[in-house]
Amino acid sequence: MKKILEVNDLSISFDTYNAEVKAVRGVTFHLNEKETLAIVGESGSGKSVTAQSIMQLIPMPPGKFVGGSIIFNGEDLTQKSEKQMENIRGKEISMIFQDPMTSLNPTMTIGKQIAESLIKHQNMSKKAAHQRGVELLKLVGIPNPDVRINQYPHQYSGGMRQRAMIAIALACNPKILIADEPTTALDVTIQAQILDLMRDLQQKTGTAIIMITHDLGVVANIAHRVAVMYGGKVVETGTVDEIFYNPRHPYTWGLLGSMPKLDQNKDEELQAIPGSPPDLANPPKGCPFVARCPYAMKVCKDHMPEYTKLSDTQKTACWLLDERAPKVDIPETAVV
Ligand code: SF4
Ligand code: MG
């Protein structure tokens, strides 16, 4: 499989009034062509900052590029000027966000917003862009697209706005679509519809997707591979099957153990892991999960574990995988 994006040892900090918050600390992962990679973790794990860094959308300052590279098409996006990025954003790499209301322009019709990017990146005439807009709205399942295209965002329901966002994001056939919690604000039925839509569109267009989520249900639904983030680091990566059936990091066990069961309220997820994430103004020297890990050993506190390669696709950073560590079975709660 061909890699389309490679993030290498990326570190991003934020200067705050009295500290430097190390939001992303040496993150490495890649995205293959035509695949969906889920980046999963709690809020504050660094997943949104990672996503925004790919788009070079982190305001600097207060953001600060500490090091690493983001290779797309053989070029390092961290070295691009704002002007160069403008030719990549929306054209080669697009992004959709949790709340379409914050990224849609309330004063412009949906049609104009789709057309804007087509006119800018593809030199389309107004008329052709309008026509393509109608096609795109149809593609994302908006009924009466030739009427809807002339309406404003507030005339759309939440689910339709998210569909319109997807239409805008896909307008120029980007190679990569980054979706940051795109369904979190939607109710469960609409959420499932949007995920189905994204899966269908991926099959039709071949766009590779990075799906940022805290919800393992979303991961199971749409992803091929998963990167689990914690405390500004990727602690485990693997295929969906590896992560669900052979997870090897205690934080992944915790995530799986706290997946809502069928009779559980959706909002309860991720609350089963006691404790809170590390303070990234003063991050732990060793494993980021040490304060919450039921298996923590002496070595975990001061030394960051290296990645252990478990297969061609799975690697995990945990001292339990060191041959000198006590043997620990994957807890039953983690097995789905
Ligand atoms: Fe737990 Fe240690 Fe593994 Fe970190 S390295 S997850 S603290 S056992
Ligand atoms: Mg976020």
ipTM: 0.97
Residue 235 Cβ inside 6 Å of ligand 1? The answer reads no
> Which one is predicted more confidently, 102 or 225?
225
Q: Please indicate, yes or no, if residue 112 is contained in any of the structural domains.
A: no
Q: What is the pLDDT of residues 78-95, one digit of tens each?
A: 999 999 999 999 899 999
Mutate to test the pocket of ligand 1, among 251, 293, 302, 303 (most ligand atoms within 8 A of CB): 293
Please state, in angstroms and rounded to a whole number, the distance separating the CA atoms of residues 78 and 12. Answer: 11
One-letter identity of residue 267? D
Mean pLDDT, the chain, whole residue set: 91
> 44-76 burial, b if ≥16 CB within 10 A, otherwise e?
bbbbbbbbbbbbbebeeeebbbbebebbbeeee
Model confidence at 130, in pLDDT bands (50, 70, 90)? Answer: very high
Distance between Cα 250 and ligand 1 center (Å): 7
Please state, in angstroms and rounded to a whole number, the distance separating the CA atoms of residues 156 and 151. Answer: 8
CA distances in angstroms from 191 to 186, 207, 297, listed in the order given: 6, 20, 40
The reported pLDDT for the residue numbered 335 is 58
The reported pLDDT for the residue numbered 103 is 82
Please state, in angstroms and rounded to a whole number, the distance separating the CA atoms of residues 241 and 243. Answer: 5
pTM above 0.90, yes or no: yes
Q: What is the pLDDT of residues 12-34, one digit of tens each?
A: 999 998 899 999 999 999 999 99
Model confidence at 46, in pLDDT bands (50, 70, 90)? Answer: very high
Burial zone of 327 (CB within 10 Å; 0-12 exposed, 13-18 middle, 19+ buried) = exposed
The reported pLDDT for the residue numbered 111 is 96
Q: Please indicate, yes or no, if residue 151 is contained in any of the structural domains.
A: no
Q: What is the mean pLDDT of the segment spanning 101-106? A: 85
Distance between Cα 286 and ligand 2 center (Å): 24
Q: What is the pLDDT of residues 260-285, one digit of tens each?
A: 555 555 554 444 688 889 999 999 99
| Lowest mean per-residue pLDDT among 65-74, 178-187, 303-312 | 178-187
Q: Which ligand 1 atom sits closest to the C-alpha of 295? A: 8
**Whose CA is closest to 56, among 73, 78, 71?**
78
Strands 315-317 and 225-230: unpaired
Whether pLDDT at 2 is above 50: yes
Q: Please indicate, yes or no, if residue 115 is contained in any of the structural domains.
A: no
The reported pLDDT for the residue numbered 263 is 52
Nearest ligand by distance to the CA of 248: 1
The reported pLDDT for the residue numbered 86 is 93
How many structural domains is the chain composed of? Answer: 1
Q: Which ligand 1 atom sits closest to the C-alpha of 305? A: 5
Distance, first Cα to last Cα, the chain: 28
Q: Express as a percent the part of the chain with pLDDT over 70.
A: 95
Q: What is the mean pLDDT of the segment spanning 196-200? A: 91
The reported pLDDT for the residue numbered 269 is 45
CATH of the domain at 182: 3.40.50.300
Q: Which ligand 1 atom sits closest to the C-alpha of 288? A: 4
Distance of alpha carbon 122 from its chain centroid, rounded? Answer: 27
Residue 304 Cβ inside 6 Å of ligand 1? The answer reads no
> Which one is predicted more confidently, 300 or 18?
300
- Number of Cβ atoms within 10 Å of the Cβ of 295: 16
Q: What is the pLDDT of residues 203-212, one digit of tens each?
A: 999 999 999 9
Residue 254 Cβ inside 6 Å of ligand 1? The answer reads no
CA angle 332, 335, 336 (to 5 degrees): 135
Distance between Cα 234 and ligand 1 center (Å): 13
Please state, in angstroms and rounded to a whole number, the distance separating the CA atoms of residues 84 and 80. Answer: 6
Q: Please indicate, yes or no, if residue 101 is contained in any of the structural domains.
A: no
Distance between Cα 48 and ligand 2 center (Å): 4
Residue 29 Cβ inside 6 Å of ligand 1? The answer reads no
Domain ranges, residue 51: 3-92+174-286+293-334
Q: What is the pLDDT of residues 244-263, one digit of tens each?
A: 999 999 999 999 887 655 55
Q: Give the tokens for residue 336.
A: 């789905």
Q: Please indicate, yes or no, if residue 156 is contained in any of the structural domains.
A: no
Q: Whose CA is nearest to atom 3 of ligand 1?
A: 318
Q: Please indicate, yes or no, if residue 330 is contained in any of the structural domains.
A: yes
Q: Which ligand 1 atom sits closest to the C-alpha of 325? A: 8
The reported pLDDT for the residue numbered 272 is 66
**Whose CA is closest to 235, among 17, 20, 29, 3?**
29
Q: In what order do the strands lie in the sheet with 3-15?
A: 20-32, 3-15, 63-72, 75-76
Q: Which ligand 1 atom sits closest to the C-alpha of 301? A: 7
Q: Please indicate, yes or no, if residue 106 is contained in any of the structural domains.
A: no
Residue 296 Cβ inside 6 Å of ligand 1? The answer reads yes
Q: Give the tokens for residue 331.
A: 């807890």
The reported pLDDT for the residue numbered 258 is 73
Whether pLDDT at 330 is above 90: no
Q: Please indicate, yes or no, if residue 46 is contained in any of the structural domains.
A: yes
Q: Which ligand 1 atom sits closest to the C-alpha of 294? A: 1
The reported pLDDT for the residue numbered 334 is 67
Q: Whose CA is nearest to atom 8 of ligand 1?
A: 296
Residue 305 Cβ inside 6 Å of ligand 1? The answer reads yes
Distance between Cα 275 and ligand 1 center (Å): 15
